[in-house]
Amino acid sequence: MKKTAFVFPGQGAQYAGMGKDFYEQFPESREVFDRAGELLGMDMCGLCFEENDRLNLTEYTQAAMITTIGAMLQKIGTMGIRPQVTAGLSLGEYAALVTAGVLDLYDAIRLVRLRGQLMQEAVPQGVGGMAAVLGLEQAAVEQACAETEGVVTIANYNCPGQLVISGEQAAVQAASERLKGLGAKRVVPLNVSGPFHSPLLKEAGEKLAEALREVEVHRPQIPYAANVTAEYVTEESGVRALLADQISSSVRWQQCVERMLADGVERFVEIGPGRTISSFVKKIDRTVEVINIDKAEDLQKIM
């Protein structure tokens, strides 16, 4: 049997209608949507299944994403399919923690809802920004950020040739111009509501740390690769600190995938809306098997 990793997308992969077929076809998935709606006091089905203005607002997006992924995981769990390792990009790390047995699903849903609210409120609209940098080596991007006045850092190491910078709006714009001059193929401003995964969100991480102290954390049943360090976590000590730091630290996704590949992972199963993670993994290693579970019909790929 191939060594398998379950991997999970982050914010940006959401779309209206995500998870609807799981809700309609599987009672265990329906229960997740219904319970999450009751827990958070919102119409989770309306948020996830229907066109609306809230789905792309961070404070709602993150709760919708973890609920949808959790509903998919509940169904996959009944099929008896288990990974050997797991990881998730940004908020997707919470789904990895559920998969690894570190967090209860409904604790994760509550935490992610709070995380989204804290991230939304952390920096006034227009103060911060983010931009995708395409076609440039990470060392050049790191140097450009370091030489730019103001706060701007790498938010995401997604895959070779694709990074994201984040920070103060003026600093992001200045770094973007510098990066174009260094030969970046494109530097694309992102339509986001804040400078995520930058030092500007440190206070949000501190507030999340307070909530994390009230949540039960268990020893991982399987290793998970942490965004902050790109190293496996095999003990419960340090989990809370990693999650608090993750909000204002770089997401080392490429390094997480490389860590799993070095550990002998041969198959990556992306669970959740879209194909973002599948695309990143293939750009990191074209030879590895990648499966995407977005629709109920996709389940046959892993049976």
User: How far is it, in rounded angstroms, from Cα 203 to Cα 249?
Assistant: 12
Query: Of the listed 29, 166, 193, 197, which one is catalytic?
Result: 197
Tell me whether residue 90 is one of the annotated catalytic residues. Answer: yes
Among the listed residues 49, 43, 44, 47, the one whose alpha carbon sits nearest the alpha carbon of residue 17: 49
Residue 242 φ then ψ, to 5°: -65, -40
- Structural class in CATH, domain 4-122+199-302: alpha beta
In tens digits, the chain (303 residues) has pLDDT values of: 899 999 999 999 999 999 999 999 999 999 999 999 999 999 999 999 999 999 999 999 999 999 999 999 999 999 999 999 999 999 999 999 999 999 999 999 999 999 999 999 999 888 999 999 999 999 999 999 999 999 999 999 999 999 999 999 999 999 999 999 999 999 999 988 889 999 999 999 999 999 999 999 999 999 999 999 999 999 999 999 999 999 999 999 999 999 999 999 999 999 999 999 999 999 999 999 999 999 999 999 998
Tell me whether residue 218 is one of the annotated catalytic residues. Answer: no
HSE on the CB side for 10, CA within 13 Å?
21
The CATH number for 128-189, chosen from 1.10.340.30, 1.20.1050.10, 3.30.70.250, 3.40.50.2300, is 3.30.70.250
Global confidence as pTM:
0.96
**E-assigned strand segments in the chain:** 4-8, 85-88, 128-134, 152-159, 162-168, 186-189, 224-225, 232-233, 267-271, 289-293
Query: Of the listed 90, 166, 176, 248, which one is catalytic?
Result: 90
CB atoms within 10 A of CB 126: 9
DSSP secondary structure string, 166-218? EEEHHHHHHHHHHHHHTT-SEEEE---SS-TTSGGGHHHHHHHHHHHTTS---
Among the listed residues 126, 95, 86, 122, the one whose alpha carbon sits nearest the alpha carbon of residue 11: 95
CB atoms within 10 A of CB 286: 8
Domain ranges of the chain: 4-122+199-302, 128-189
User: How far is it, in rounded angstroms, from Cα 133 to Cα 126?
Assistant: 20
Per DSSP, 129 falls in state E
